[in-house]
Every structure is written in C-alpha cells, then in structure tokens.
Structure 1
Amino acid sequence: MPKASDRSGVLLLNKNPGLTSFESLFAVKRAFNTRKVGHTGTLDKFASGLLIVLIGKALKIAPWFSFCDKEYEAVIRFGVETATLDPEGEVVGKGPLPSREAVEKALENFRGEILQAPPLYSAIHVDGVRAHEIARSGRQVEMKKRPVTVYEIELSSWDPPLAGLKVRCSAGTYIRSLARDIALAAGSRGHLASLCRTRIGGFKLQDAANAENLNSALKPLSPTIFNALNMELFFVDISDVQNIIHGKVFSQVFGLYKKYLDLPAAGDDRQPPEGRPFIPNVSAVFYNDESYNDELAAIIECKDGKWKYNRVFAADKGCNIPD
C-alpha cells in the first residue's frame, strides 16, 4: 500500500455551492496528505456539481480535458442583470419579464457555433491581467468575443421569473454569459440564479464523491479513465515497457507497431463512446499484460506526421518489469 502522499489518480468531486473550486481542493489535500492536487476546470463559487480533481502523476494528463464537452443544469432569473451575472453581484440592469415563447425563440440563436463574450468577472487574461481584477478596480474593458459551441440547449422548466435550462457545450463556454445573452435576445435582462455541472466528457456527477468519503473514491490511471476522456488506447508488449520507461527512442520501441499507429481513428472497427469524437492524434499506451492491465506506460502523439512520446509514466510497481 503506497503512502498517502504517494497516491495518484483521478477523483470525481461533487462540489458544494459556497466554495470556490480552489477552496474545494483543501479537503482533498488533507485526505491524501499531498499538495500535488489540481482540477481540470473551474466551477463558480455559487455553482455546484462535478469537479474533476487530479492527484500526483495524474496532473500530467490535465491538458486533454480541454477536449471534453460538458453538460449543465442551469436556472436563469429574468428581469434583473447583475455585474457578475450570478446571484452575488450588484444589479446593473432591469427589464420586463419575457414570455415563454420569446425565450424558446431566443434559444434558437444559441445552438451550434456562436461567438460569446466572457463575463467581465472571470479569470480570462486581458493584457496580462485577470479580467475580474480589472473589474474590481473600477475600470472598464471590452471582453472580446470567442467562438464556442453549444451542442444542445433546451428549456427544462418555466416558472417566471425563473427558467431552467439543460445545456451541452464545448469547453470554454460560459453559462453566465449564455444567461445574459438569452435574456437580452428575449427582450429582457437576466443572470444565472443557479448552476450544476452534471458531466465532463464521459465523467458523470452521479459517480462523484462528497468531501466526506474521498479516500475510497480515487480512480487509478486505468483504461477506464482514458475511455471517458475519449482517448484511443494502444497496448504494447510487456517487453517494450522497460524500454519506454528507460527512455529508449520512440522508433526503436514502436517500430513494430508502425502499421497500427498509421491507421486513422476511423479506419478500424472501434467507435467513439456516446457519439463523441476521439481526441485527434493521441493515444494512451498500456501494458499488454494481465498483471499490469491498469498501468499507464505513456501518452504518445502525432505531430507533423510523426509519432513521439508526450508523457512517460514510471510503473507504480517499482518498475519491477522483466528485461
């Protein structure tokens, strides 16, 4: 059994409202006696739901979570817009309550790829400074619009001045901005009254742990994690694992597998889970041996037509792999 401070893996955390994402990590650091902890995407302080936490060597896989789509359950309060676009900000505008028909019609403009201006109170950098720091200093700044994709958005409840939404969107989409823009398109003003994130990629809120039962919830870097990330899996013979860990050049280790690596993702009989596309040009490499079936050896990627190592992971079993 590894020491608590040596444990690594992925933790699905059910974040409570009232805590920032950073504050939510305190309980994780205490439970696992480590400071090597980070999350893959911020949830606002007033929001709740799924926060994916990476511990130890699992921090190395953080970049690939940016490919994940996300699902939310949100509630818009119409009639009042706040400076922060959430319940905690001061009122900056008021408008008439829209009809359900007006809101349904407005939603048609927010499906597919759209241009969205992030909230002024956000962690976006503007000329090297966080936007929320600029806002709190009293200065005004124009937030440049960015392309995001809303795959699905539906009205789930209607109880004026409140309206419930279910949203599936790309990473980088601000639901607070959606609330503001939908209200304006419906001839009103509005802010986000509540928000719950229910899914990130293949990771679901229903599988998340509360702060009270973290130790039993840590998931190893197994094929299951990379299936949920929609990353293709690649298995190598156990005799090659030692060479990978000891830094043998890529072509010498993977030369025998070249014909498989050169296949496009759509060229074999594997299908992406739940209709979501595989992350392009990257594979998670696992040991092709029953005793190491949960051991990640490396992540490899193809750049400019050439495959190479991106990350290499030493075996948790002390590299006790036969030469």
Structure 2
Amino acid sequence: MDGILLVNKPAGMTSHDVVNRMRKILHTKKVGHCGTLDPDATGVLVLCIGKATKALQFLMSETKVYQATLFLGTATDTYDSSGQIMEEKAFHGVRDVEETLQSFIGKQQQIPPIYSAIKVHGKKLYEYARNQEHVDIQPRTIMIEKIELISQQDQSITFQVKCSKGTYIRSLCVDIGKKLGYPAHMTHLIRLASGEFYLEDCYSLEDIEQGHYQFMSLEDAFQHFEHYYIDDENIVYHGKKIKSDIDHQVVVCNQNHKVLAVYGPDGEGYLKSIRGLF
C-alpha cells in the first residue's frame, strides 16, 4: 500500500489527527503529511503512504492557494475565531477594500501568530502563549503572488490568495484589518491548492473509510518535476553518482518512466543521490 493520498481535511481536526485516522483505516503506521493545516481550516492535505513517505520532503510545495474570510471589528489572541477577544471596535463601514488587498502583493516581512507551532529556543510559540511567557517573535519573509476579493458583506471580507510556503493567513487577515482601520481576525480558511495538488482531487474522510479513493502514484505526483532518464537502474539502486553538469535537483527515472530517486548536484560535475524512492 504505497502512494499519495489527497485528503480534504475537515474542520476540528489537526493534521496529525488526520494522519492517525488514516493509520487506522489503512492499517499502516507509514503515513505522513506535507504541510500542516490549522485545526479549524479545511482543504488540501497531502498524505504520503508506505514507501511514498520517502518523498515527503520533496512534495512540501513552495506555493499554496487559500480562500479566507476575515471579520472586521474584533481581534483575538489566536488571530482566529477560537481565541479570546482582545480588542473591539464598532464597525462604521470600510472603503478601498480591493486596493488594500492589492497592496499586499509582493515580498514582505510577516510576524507569525504567537499561537503557532514555530519553535523559538526549542519551544513552540503556543507553549509560551499558554504559559503567559514573553517571547520575541521574529518576522519571516513571505511572498504574496496574487490576492483578490471574492465577496464583502458588512464586516466579513472573503478573499483568495496565492502565497509562499510559511505564510500565515491568520496574520494576513489581521494585517489587512489594520490597514482598513479595524482590529480583525480570521473566521474561515480553505486550502484550495498545495503546489500542483488541488481541492477538487481530494477525498473526504468518509470517502476513504468507505473505500472510495485511489492512490496517486509517485509518477503522477512528480510529473511537474524535471526528469532525468537512465538506462541502467542499478546506478540508482547502488547509490552511484551520475556524471552531469545539471545544477539543480531532478527526478531520476528508468526508461519506463518509473520514478527511482531524487538526485542533486555535488558541486564536482556529478549528480548524487539525495533520496531513493524505491
């Protein structure tokens, strides 16, 4: 039982909860996920099963697409609806919403929420928050490639955003609110895409429990990567280097297009094995 399984994560479960559920359903401990989703968020969660867990590090997509809804007038300590209210301001309307959203396009520094799993001095930020301990949170460089307004109804603004890995949409919602002149928090989040994995191709937990699912092969999962074809598979099976001036990672396949490994440059005119996928 090996392959990639695309899951539409339901609200109310952590990504690890989903992994544990899949371990029970599929009767295997070899299950891992590519990119955490907040418990209240729904949408694309990429799972690697069996031998495919070897591919986890390469399927951590650099770009994500989300649809989010923020609420103007109320701020919470967690930046979402699950937290305690920290600030309120009466809503008297808002202007220039589309222009404000567009102002976030590009590379920028973002401060993550304190209720997050980022580690500082070996401890997760949410542990500092729960213990009411002070901690300096360093901003991180993120990239917003595209953002567009989907709808606006009174204090609720729904938008779609394409962003870099590591972007916190909760923080983005708070920052958008500040630019519009209000405290704000995120009320809804759906991950529509993680790299080349899309929500419309995902299965619900109910589908999977009932056996209505299909694994994605490594060949399909890596179809958007650059491929390097070899005649002698034993080169890969024995971890030997391949003479080449390629200066980036490639997926090495046999002549039947079967994915064998990921190779990368060694700086001396060769490609070396980074991870065998057999």
TM range (shorter): over 0.9
**Comparing 127-136 with 137-146, which one deviates more in the overlay?**
137-146
Instruction: Note if contact 2:54-2:277 (Cα within 8 Å) is conserved in structure 1.
Output: no
Q: CA deviation at 1:95?
A: 2.5
Does residue 221 of the first structure (1) align with residue 215 of the second (2)?
A: no
Cα distance change on mapping 1:286 and 1:108 into 2, 3 Å: same
1:14 corresponds to which residue?
Answer: 8
Does residue 114 of the first structure (1) align with residue 78 of the second (2)?
A: no
Which residue of 87, 98, 105 maps to 2:81?
87
- More helix as a share of residues: 1
Does residue 296 of the first structure (1) align with residue 259 of the second (2)?
A: yes
Which residue of 245, 249, 255 maps to 1:282?
249
After superposition, the C-alpha distances for 1:71-113 in whole angstroms (9 at most, x for unaligned) are: 0010001100111111110001112436442433322331110
The structure whose RCO (Cα within 8 Å, separation 6+) is larger is: 2
Instruction: Note if contact 2:263-2:271 (Cα within 8 Å) is conserved in structure 1.
Output: yes
In 1, the alpha carbon distance for the partners of 2:85 and 2:43 equals 26
Instruction: Note if contact 1:298-1:312 (Cα within 8 Å) is conserved in structure 2.
Output: yes
**Comparing 70-79 with 105-114, which one deviates more in the overlay?**
105-114
Bigger radius of gyration:
1
Does residue 245 of the first structure (1) align with residue 241 of the second (2)?
A: no
1:39 corresponds to which residue?
Answer: 33
Q: CA deviation at 1:51?
A: 0.4
Cα distance change on mapping 1:142 and 1:104 into 2, 3 Å: farther
Q: CA deviation at 1:312?
A: 1.6
In 2, the alpha carbon distance for the partners of 1:246 and 1:112 equals 44
Cα distance change on mapping 1:203 and 1:303 into 2, 3 Å: same
Q: Which amino acid aligns with 1:299?
A: V
In 1, the alpha carbon distance for the partners of 2:47 and 2:183 equals 35
1:58-77 equivalences under 5 Å are 58-77=52-71
After superposition, the C-alpha distances for 1:265-291 in whole angstroms (9 at most, x for unaligned) are: xxxxxxxxxxxxxxxx111111103xx
The secondary structure found in structure 2 opposite 1:110 is: coil
Cα distance change on mapping 1:100 and 1:303 into 2, 3 Å: farther
Q: Which amino acid aligns with 1:226?
A: F
The secondary structure found in structure 2 opposite 1:309 is: strand
Instruction: Note if contact 1:95-1:187 (Cα within 8 Å) is conserved in structure 2.
Output: no
After superposition, the C-alpha distances for 1:177-219 in whole angstroms (9 at most, x for unaligned) are: 0001110111101000000000011110100011123353211
In 2, the alpha carbon distance for the partners of 1:115 and 1:96 equals 29
Where does the alignment leave 5 or more consecutive residues of structure 1 unmatched?
A: 1-6, 265-280, 315-323
Which residue of 83, 97, 103 maps to 1:103?
97
- More strand as a share of residues: 2
Q: Which amino acid aligns with 2:148?
A: E
In 1, the alpha carbon distance for the partners of 2:92 and 2:148 equals 16
1:317 corresponds to which residue?
Answer: none
Instruction: Note if contact 1:29-1:37 (Cα within 8 Å) is conserved in structure 2.
Output: yes
1:313 corresponds to which residue?
Answer: 277
RMSD: 1.7
| Alignment size in residue pairs | 274
Instruction: Note if contact 2:52-2:277 (Cα within 8 Å) is conserved in structure 1.
Output: no
2:133 corresponds to which residue?
Answer: 139
Cα distance change on mapping 1:263 and 1:131 into 2, 3 Å: closer
1:186 corresponds to which residue?
Answer: 180
In 1, the alpha carbon distance for the partners of 2:144 and 2:98 equals 15
Q: Percent identity?
A: 32
1:121-132 equivalences under 5 Å are 121-132=115-126
In 2, the alpha carbon distance for the partners of 1:132 and 1:307 equals 41
Instruction: Note if contact 2:55-2:277 (Cα within 8 Å) is conserved in structure 1.
Output: no
Where does the alignment leave 5 or more consecutive residues of structure 2 unmatched?
A: none
Instruction: Note if contact 1:71-1:198 (Cα within 8 Å) is conserved in structure 2.
Output: yes
TM-score, length-scaled by structure 2:
0.93
Q: CA deviation at 1:311?
A: 1.0
